[in-house]
Structure 1
Amino acid sequence: MTARTAVVVGNPKPASRTLVAAVHVARELTGAEPDLVVDLATVGPGLLVQDDAAVRELVAQVAAADLVVAASPTYKATYTGLLKLFLDRFAPDYGTGLTGLAVPLMLGAGPGHALAPELTLRPVLTEIGATVPVPGLFVLDAAHDDPTAYDAWLARARPVVSALLDARRATLTGGAA
């Protein structure tokens, strides 16, 4: 059994730099392309409908992932309302919480918002059930396509995430990783 990885991007612009960065992080953490990429800018008005079937299915798929990379540009020192609309659909008490690991990732124009992933996105991911085992990642917009912008964080995060994904697989398969 391999880890199921989901990427959720809350940039209101489709196919954004945030999407590129999030897919890169997922690929670097797992060694594979993500199984599911949710570019919320392409989901449409269903995000505003409480019982939209397509959104409900996306929530179920993301909730079932072993690893979720949740990404947003930094807007007003926090993540976007678009991402908030989606994350509000997760309710651990009602069986729709995240059950795996999550990594908060945010892009921003300057280093003044470097703590935004830790201070704003990490708490909500934890609140909806995820285990967030590594510090959030902040990347400057201008460096989103520069692999070296991720290297130091990946060197610290990759062993932790890999070990926890291996342990999760072993638990879910009864000890056979």
Structure 2
Amino acid sequence: MPKATIINGSPTPGSRLTAVISLTSELLIKEGYEVDHVNVGELPPGDLIHTKFESEAIVKANALVAGADVVIVASPVYKASYTGVLKTFLDLIPEKGLAGKVILPLFIGGSLAHLLSIDYSLKPVLSALGARYILGGVYTVDSQVARTEEGGFDISEELVGRLEDNVKELADETKRRLHYASLAE
């Protein structure tokens, strides 16, 4: 069974990004993935800020990333980039820690003005960590994930379709990579 780790870079529990991550998890499970989560906002702040590589929480989070075939990096967009708390965690992933993994970025922002933030702010950092199989990603506008009166979320059909397409592409790419890796053994 292939493994996926979703890195949630939001410092805010219950944000709209949570709904996007939840749907993505469901879609991955339907594709036969075991899904783990790293909620960066729940990691000890001192360990992140002081780059404590040996911290139990950081070691555990990095083990989830290391054991994954797929890594999904999710973040709200603040000031035309991903969150600072996500950056502190990415700084703690070992050099080449994303090598050989298929990566899917998921960003959510207030408007389309920051549509290219995945390409200009995140992808260079992922590449520096050894990622070579970075899919285009999904950029979501806040209005596509509406809060309901019951406290849940209503995700637009258009966004659901894009997430389905991207998870399918991710699954196809992962199958291809795992197939070639088994032939090489």
TM-score by length of 2: 0.80
Give the secondary structure class of the aligned counterpart of 1:6: strand
In 1: Cα distance, 2:33 partner to 2:177 partner = 19
* Aligned residue number for residue 65 of structure 1: 68
In 1: Cα distance, 2:91 partner to 2:75 partner = 15
In 1: Cα distance, 2:99 partner to 2:56 partner = 18
* Aligned residue number for residue 42 of structure 2: 42
Is the contact made by 2:104 and 2:170 (CA closer than 8 Å) also made in structure 1?
Answer: no
Give the secondary structure class of the aligned counterpart of 2:87: helix
Give the secondary structure class of the aligned counterpart of 1:70: strand
Structure 1 portions without partners, runs of 5+? none
Deviations 1:59-99 (A, max 9, x none): 12112211111011100000000000001112335xx3443
Q: 1:146 aligns with which of 155, 172, 180?
A: 155
* Aligned residue number for residue 130 of structure 1: 131
Identity of aligned residues (%): 27
Within a 5 Å distance, the mapping from 1:92-107 to structure 2 comes to 92=95, 96-107=97-108
Query: Is 1:169 aligned with 2:178?
Result: yes
Deviates more, 1:100-109 or 1:163-172: 163-172
- Matched residue type, 2:11: P
- Matched residue type, 1:127: A
What is the CA distance between 1:151 and its match in structure 2?
Answer: 4.3
Cα RMSD of the aligned pairs, angstroms, is: 2.5
In 2: Cα distance, 1:139 partner to 1:3 partner = 26
Seen in structure 2, the aligned counterparts of structure 1 residues 53 and 39 have a Cα distance that, compared at 3 Å, is: same
Give the secondary structure class of the aligned counterpart of 2:103: strand
In 2: Cα distance, 1:19 partner to 1:80 partner = 15
Is the contact made by 1:7 and 1:69 (CA closer than 8 Å) also made in structure 2?
Answer: yes
What is the CA distance between 1:172 and its match in structure 2?
Answer: 4.5
* Aligned residue number for residue 149 of structure 2: none
Within a 5 Å distance, the mapping from 1:8-19 to structure 2 comes to 8-19=7-18
What is the CA distance between 1:48 and its match in structure 2?
Answer: 2.5
- Matched residue type, 1:100: K
Structure 2 portions without partners, runs of 5+? 146-153
Is the contact made by 2:28 and 2:167 (CA closer than 8 Å) also made in structure 1?
Answer: yes
What is the CA distance between 1:174 and its match in structure 2?
Answer: 4.7
Q: Which aligned segments of 4 or more residues in structure 1 are displaced greater than 4 angstroms? A: 172-175
